[in-house]
Amino acid sequence: MSLARLWAMARKETIQLRRDPRSLGLAFVLPAFMLLFFGYAISFDVRNIRMAVLDESQSQESRRLAEAFLASGYFEHAGHLSRYDEIDDVLSAGRARIVLVIPPAFQRDLAAGRSAPVQVLLDGGDANTATIAQNYAEAILTRFTVDALSARAGTRLALPVTAETRVWYNETLESRNMIVPGLVAVIMSIIAALLTSLTIAREWERGTMEQLAATPVHRLEVVLGKLLPYVAIGLIDVGVALLVGVTVFGVPLHGNILLLGVLTLFFLVGALGLGMFISAAVKSQVLATQIAMLATYMPALLLSGFIFTIATMPIVLRALTYIVPARYYVTVTRGILLKGVGPHVLWPQAIAMVLFATIGLGLAIRVFKKEIG
């Protein structure tokens, strides 16, 4: 392999890329746009749950209970109901996610020391929100019960067992801290494969492959030379994405940035090699783009652990995740950014991405042919 020919191929690809506004937009504008858009659009934080209240007690204690829900910051007022049969209309129309029903004897039962039941009705159409809202409601009712017992006893009571919890690695439980590192992996999976899926197919469609075939350049030099500019672009994109994540979204950076750069390089080489393999195999830019999207977008989004926890998937899908490179890179970005872990933890992911890079690059070299025929 000649370094001069390799450099000439890299320079040729860079000039072609510079003259193609669509590829430049795909390389630099689209990743930043996707990160900002999905970073703001996707959130697992459940707040401002709309709550309606049916207060049949109309007492000081019932108002205090309703105010405890609203003061928690998790619920917002969606109106008062006057009759029980209004509940179905409110929940079915989506005007409220939860309805708090306080019976007429609520204050009287509390004053007499009896159990004072209340009813919490939830819209289960969104099971995740309903489950979280139920947990919030139970916590608020527990605190309200302790306060009521303390007021009746004239002293501050405590529960027999209390939990002192501490969250590690994402102390504020902000979903963005989990989403943004995963987004970097998903976006780069898609963009890297799309970028190189156009390279060799473009040579065939523009008729320049004949000129390339007449040169003494080896196919290894062609593939590596075409790959180098996109590796540089990918590293720049990841750097910009991390900068945006830390400065705009407030994602912490606890780990070694050099380790992240090395593992990112392996991941990018594999993803770019996959795109080049597709480009060499189909020789059509449109078809190569479609196959690259199909091979990267859905697996990276659904089977990488970015949104859905892998451990809860059916066994068949869990097995499929092992061949999805984004699975390993999501673990790497979250591990280094949020937890600050090092090679002693991430070595399985490192080995997997080295294999991915080797296979992706090997397939691209094997499939690419300079011969015209």
Mean pLDDT of 336-361: 92
Backbone angles phi, psi at 102, to 5 degrees: -110, 115
Is the whole model's pTM more than 0.75, yes or no? yes
pLDDT confidence of residue 158: 65
Question: DSSP string of 221-236?
Answer: HHHHHHHHHHHHHHHH
pLDDT given at position 104: 92
153-195 tens-digit pLDDT:
666 666 677 777 788 888 877 888 888 999 998 888 888 888 8
pLDDT tens per residue across span 101-128: 999 999 888 888 788 889 999 999 888 8
d(CA 266, CA 38): 25
The CATH architecture annotation of domain 49-153 reads 3-Layer(aba) Sandwich (3.40)
Instruction: Give the chain's radius of gyration (CA, Å).
Output: 28
Cα distance between residue 112 and residue 313, in whole Å: 50
Average of per-residue pLDDT across 31-60: 87
The CA distance from 245 to 171, in Å, is: 17
The pLDDT of residue 372 is 55
Please give the mean pLDDT across all residues of the chain: 86
C-alpha angle 327/332/337, rounded to 5°?
A: 135
The shares of helix, strand and coil residues in the chain, as percent rounded to the nearest 5, are 65, 5, 25
| Local confidence band at 344 (pLDDT 50, 70, 90 cut-offs) | very high
Residue-wise DSSP of 183-219 = HHHHHHHHHHHHHHTTHHHHHHHHT-HHHHHTS---H
Indicate the domain borders of the chain. 3-43+174-367, 49-153
pLDDT for 205? 73
Q: Is a pLDDT exceeding 80 seen at residue 326? A: yes
Q: Is the pLDDT of residue 48 over 90?
A: no
